[in-house]
Amino acid sequence: MKLKLFLYTLLFTAQSNATEIQPFEATYEVIRGGKVTGKQTTLVEKLSGDKWIIKDSIIGTSGMASLIGFKRTETTEFIYQGNEIFATHHEMFQKAAFNKKSYTFDWQPTKSNYVIKHKDQNHWLDTQGKPVISSQLMPMVLAQAACRQQDTVNLLVLKSTKVKPYQFNISHQKTLIAERVYNDQQTKASKTTLDPQRQCLPIEQSHQDNSKPLIVTRLINFKWL
C-alpha cells in the first residue's frame, strides 16, 4: 500500500511539474516555400507572483523579407493561475519597407473590460468574465493542454477588436501534434508539433493558406533560464 502511494505521488508530481511554466529562451528559423527567410526569438520570463511575460521578435534574414527590412515584435503580459492563462496586456509592432502596423490591448480590472488600440482608434470590449489570450500565447496554451493529456482545446483569442474562438485536436504519439479545426469550406491547415521531453515545447509550427506558400517555424536553439 505504501509503495502504491509512493508511486502515485511521484506520478502526480511529475504531471504537475510538466504543466508548470518555466522561463526559457528559444530561437526558430522561419521557412517560406521551403526557403529560410527569417529568424524568430522567443523569451518567456516571470515578472512576479503569478505574472509572466512572453516576447517574440521576428526579422527577415534573406530573400524579399530581408530586402524590405521585415521586422515584427510582440509582447504579451499574462497571469498564470490554476493552470489557466489570462492575457492582461499585448502589443504588436510590424514594419516592412514603408508600411507599419501596430496593435495593443490592455485589461482594465476596475471596469472588467479591455481597451483596444487598433488602426489609431480605441475600442472597448467586455469579455463577460471569460479568460482570453493573444494569438501569441496559443503555442504556450497548446503545450499546457498537451502535457495535461487533453485531446481537444477550445480557446478564446482576442484579435483586432473581437474575441475569436479557436479549436484544436491533439494527437498523443511519440511526438505530440496539435491541429487546428477549420470550417469545412476553408482550405487551410495549421499544425503545431510539441516535445513531451521539454514540457511540450512547440518545436515546429506549420501553416498552409489556400495556394500560398507553406510557412514553417522550426526550433533551432533552446535553453531554460
What is the per-residue pLDDT across 36-51, written as a single tens digit (0 to 9) for each? 999 999 999 999 999 9
Q: How far is CA 35 from CA 31, 103, 215, 219, in A?
A: 5, 29, 9, 15
Contact 204, 192 (CB under 8 A): yes
pLDDT in tens, 82-136: 889 999 999 999 999 999 999 999 999 999 999 999 988 999 999 988 889 999 9
Nearest CA to 220 out of 15, 38, 23, 7 is that of 38
- Three-state DSSP at 2 gives helix
**Any residues with CB less than 8 A from the CB of 189 and at least 6 apart, and which?**
179, 180, 182, 206, 207, 208
Record the pTM: 0.89
* CA-based max dimension of the chain: 69
